[in-house]
Amino acid sequence: MSRVLVVGSLNADLVVRTERFPGPGETVAGADLTTGPGGKGANQAVAAARLGARAGVAVAMVGAIGDDDHGRTVRDAVAAAGADVAAVVVRPGTATGTAVITVDATGDNTIVVSPGANAGLAAADLPSFDDVAVLTLSLEIPTPTVLAAARAARAAGTTVLLNLSPSAAVPPELLDATDVLVVNEHEAALLGDHPVARSVVTRGAAGCEVHDPGPDTVTTVEAMRVDPVDTTGSGDAFLAAVAVRLAAGDDLADAARYAVRAGALAVTVAGAQLPVVGEDERLRFGL
């Protein structure tokens, strides 16, 4: 089997739905607070495991949690999806990362993250990359750890897939060690000209744009039309889907075509993690 490795964050998501976001200094009424598993890394691992099961792609997760109920809940959710969590380390005396999320009536969200144990994930926690086809990385863990993972994976011949989210400045060395860069249009604007030859720029309901050297340098991929419920985990589902299809042997444009469908499915339900769906829904979304 091909293998995808996710090195990233595990969070407890504290979510409240409200009709609209409050302005500065304003209080608005919200629905009941819900708590569920999240974190960009955990979301990616869950989505990759659920999508990869049919493609012959195994998934493993590397991350850090606290020795608390939140940590056990999010780790168990990743494991239940079918991902290997043996490399998720437990930090006694440290809280598991937490995200405070507000979702409005249109499905848009605001997110504030307290990193907790994620901030302590170090290069020493990384495994060997010798049997890994694709590595996915994002920025809810320390940048030096992201860079160490990218360099080690590149040296092992692993394809490095980097998502610059949450948006932050990164050292040029990290971009140099990246094979495929995934950014939204706002992050792309901050970067300027494409610093990584192979990249995907996501545009929400407008789909995405694939940059890949070759006869067709730029490919536009249209999004599926759905009624959004919660957009919190759509980007993570998209990234996971790209990773799975690259590991299965697709080219980048075909992987992106598959990924927009996974992202569309993700926004049709509340919560940050790609849901389990029946055969009818799989066929409807082409997954």
Decide if 236 is catalytic: yes
**Predicted TM-score (pTM) above 0.85:** yes
| % of the chain surpassing 70 pLDDT | 99
Other C-beta atoms closer than 10 Å to the C-beta of 207 total 19
User: What pLDDT is stored for residue 287 in this prediction?
Assistant: 82
Among 252, 186, 250, smallest CA distance to 214 is for 252
Q: Which of 216, 236, 250, 251 is catalytic?
A: 236
CA dihedral 131→83→2→129, nearest 10 degrees, is -20
Phi, psi of 55 (to 5 degrees): -100, 5
What average pLDDT does the chain have? 91
Paired tokens of 117: 């144990």
- pLDDT(278) > 90: no
Homologous superfamily, domain 2-8+39-95+122-285:
Ribokinase (3.40.1190.20)
Amino acid in position 145: T
- pLDDT(85) > 80: yes
Q: What is the pLDDT of residues 58-80, one digit of tens each?
A: 999 999 999 999 999 999 999 99
- pLDDT(39) > 90: yes
DSSP 241: H
* Mean pLDDT confidence for 101-123: 92
User: What pLDDT is stored for residue 125 in this prediction?
Assistant: 97
Residue 216: band (very low, low, confident or very high) from pLDDT cuts 50, 70, 90: low
User: What pLDDT is stored for residue 215 in this prediction?
Assistant: 55
Q: What is the pLDDT of residues 245-257, one digit of tens each?
A: 999 999 999 999 9
What is the sign of the dihedral through the CA atoms of 115, 117, 119 and 123?
Answer: negative
User: What pLDDT is stored for residue 133 in this prediction?
Assistant: 97
The contacts of residue 268 (CB under 8 Å, 6+ apart) are 226, 227, 228, 229
Q: Look up tokens 């409050």; give the residue.
A: 22
Q: Look up tokens 């249209």; give the residue.
A: 222
Query: Looking at beta carbons, which pairs linking 126-131 to residues 24 or more positions away fall under 8 Å?
Result: 126/7, 126/62, 126/152, 127/5, 127/60, 127/62, 127/87, 128/156, 129/5, 129/153, 129/155, 129/156, 129/158, 130/156, 131/3
Q: What is the pLDDT of residues 163-205, one digit of tens each?
A: 998 888 899 999 999 999 999 888 888 887 778 989 999 988 8
Residue 85: burial class (beta carbons within 10 Å; 0-12, 13-18, 19+): buried
Among 269, 275, 261, 267, smallest CA distance to 207 is for 261
Residue 102 CA, chain-centre distance (Å), reads: 19
Residue 285 CA, chain-centre distance (Å), reads: 19
Buried b (16+ CB within 10 A) or exposed e, 170-202: beeebbebbbbbbbbeebbeebeeeebebbbbb
- Between CA 22 and CA 46 the distance in angstroms is 31
- Between CA 102 and CA 59 the distance in angstroms is 30
